[in-house]
Amino acid sequence: MTRRVIVAANWKMNGDSALVDSMISGLSDMESSNVEVIICPSFPYLSDLNQKIKAADLDNIIQVGSQTVSKFVGGAHTGEVSTTMLNDLSIKYVIVGHSERRSVYNETSEQVASKVHAVLDAGLNPILCIGETEAERADGKIESVLLSQIQPVIDEIGIERFSDVVISYEPVWAIGTGKAASSAMAQETHYFIRQLIAKQSKQVAANISLLYGGSVNAANCEELFAQPDIDGGLVGGASLQAEQFKIICSAAKGK
């Protein structure tokens, strides 16, 4: 796949039917652009949001994504949701390996790799989250941590398919803290990620989309998205307000 500009909203375990409605009305004047806009609500709202996006004629601008998925295709897995079910609801994107899934639900990089594989095999688009903790950064382990999160996925799906993966670099210390990485710091890490992939395929490194996540807001998005190796963002808290989210999506236009 070729390099794309993407702004994705991760609502996490926030929101309700009222948020779906207020988001549709707040984003109703959004215009088509080079930016792929994705909204990822919790499972119960996927279908409602998708249908309302279509009804509002926004489906050529906004797509819907899931926040996680099972690596299994079906069967006795209580509480899980499969890629087949997401396809049935016409969901196009899946966030995989968010740091909250890794730390709270103990998802390993190998399990994350299996999920990415399942997502690709189902014809869906994975957004693979990677990022170091504050302690890992302080210990100078950023590069080894990122490699340990990326390599199992490449080993699982092969380097050629890796360009179909969207990566979101989210330093854990920047998530939900209001302390975003500086644009220079984020660019430096994105450049490192692209070089790391280039060692295995220059073409994949050039084509892969690298998003930044972690306290992106209306005030810092422009500077972050102006960086050459940042292709958009994965936005948590600021995506719960249509006006802020629109500003963030606009900042990615023309990249």
Ligand X SMILES: O=C[C@H](O)COP(=O)(O)O
- The residue from 39, 237, 250, 251 that contacts ligand X (CB under 6 A) is 237
Which helix (DSSP H) or strand (DSSP E) does residue 150 occupy?
A: helix 142-157
Token pair in block for residue 67: 């926040």
Binding mask 157-186 for ligand X (x = CB under 6 A): -------------x----xx----------
| Cβ–Cβ under 8 Å, residues 30 and 61 | yes
On whether 79 is known to bind a ligand per the annotation, the reply is: no
Which residues, including other chains, have CB under 8 Å from residue 127's CB and lie 6 or more apart?
A: 6, 8, 38, 65, 93, 94, 95, 96, 165, 166, 167, 168, 211, 234
Show contacts with ligand X in window 90-119 (CB under 6 A). 98
Q: What string of DSSP letters covers 212-253?
A: EESS--TTTHHHHHTSTT--EEEESGGGGSHHHHHHHHHHTT
- The residue from 10, 63, 82, 83 that contacts ligand X (CB under 6 A) is 10
Q: Is residue 235 involved in binding ligand X (CB under 6 A)?
A: yes
Which stretch, 16-24, 111-119, 146-154, 230-238, contacts ligand X (CB under 6 A)? 230-238
DSSP class of residue 127 equals E
Report the nearest approach of ligand X to the CB of residue 201 (Å).
27
Report the nearest approach of ligand X to the CB of residue 186 (Å).
13
Q: Which residue ranges make up the site for ligand X (CB under 6 A)?
A: 10, 98, 170, 175-176, 213-216, 234-238
Binding residues, as ranges, are 10-12, 176, 215, 236-237
Active site residues: 98, 170
